[in-house]
Amino acid sequence: MRHCCQFKADAVYCLEDTSLCSSRTLAVGFCPVCNKPVAELTEYNFAGGMNKISAAGVSAQALMQSVNSQIKHSLKEVNLYKTKSKPFGWRFGINKESKNGVIRQYACDFYGNKEEVKKIIKRKQI
C-alpha cells in the first residue's frame, strides 16, 4: 500500500465474493509517517481486471465499516490455525520406546505439534 510512504499492512482480511468480483482482500494498517489509518480494497473482476481502492483517515474507516459484514476470515487466523493443528509443513519423526516393549512413532513439526503415526508392540524372544 502507498499513502505517504510504502509500508506493510497490519491485518489482511479475505472478503466474500460478489456477483461482479472475486478474490477480494482488505488490507488495513497505519501510515508510519502521518499515523493515519489506511485501508486498501483489492478485487479482481471476472473480465480479468483488477480494482484497487485506497483510502486514508476518515474515508478508510468508512471503507472498513462498509465491508465489515463481508469478512470471511483474516489471514492471521488462518496462519494461527495451521500452526495449532496437526503437524504442518516440514515434519520429522520421533521414536519412543516404553519399558513394556511398545514403540510409538510420532510425526512432529517445528511448531511443537505432535501426532502418533504408528504403534509397534515388540514380542519377547524366548
How many other β-carbons are positioned within 10 Å of the β-carbon of residue 121? Answer: 8
How many other β-carbons are positioned within 10 Å of the β-carbon of residue 60? Answer: 21
Gap between the Cα atoms of 90 and 23, Å rounded: 28
pLDDT tens by residue, the chain, 126 residues: 555 666 677 778 888 887 888 788 888 888 878 888 888 888 888 888 888 888 888 888 888 888 888 888 777 766 666 556 666 667 788 888 888 889 899 888 877 788 888 888 877 655
Q: Report in angstroms the alpha-carbon separations of 104 from 28, 39, 65.
A: 46, 50, 52
Gap between the Cα atoms of 7 and 64, Å rounded: 18
